[in-house]
Amino acid sequence: MSWMAWTLPTAVFFIAVAVVLAAMTAVELRWPCAERRGFLPIATTRGDRLFIGLLGSAYIHLVVIGATDWSIWVASTLALVWLLIVMRWG
């Protein structure tokens, strides 16, 4: 049987995603949100924007890893900026 090799960065990533989801749940329970339109071509809620931001961040990482010789930290910085932009103005 083959087991997944858990490294510290992998564990930190999944813990961070769990913390973000828990925080988003707490914020939604405290301050319910209505759909709104931003620069995205659809009306979205906080959760929609988080999902779109995380999905876009994954694609940014894949493009940087597959098409450039940049450091993974560059990809992470770009992904974080993308996520913040989508969460604020998306």
pLDDT of residue 1: 62
Residue 2: what pLDDT? 67
Q: Which residues of the chain have pLDDT under 50?
A: none
CA distance 49 to 44: 6
Rounded CA-CA distance 17/25 in Å is 12
Helix (H, G, I), strand (E, B) or coil at 42: coil
Confirm if 52 and 44 have CB atoms less than 8 A apart.
yes
pLDDT of residue 82: 95
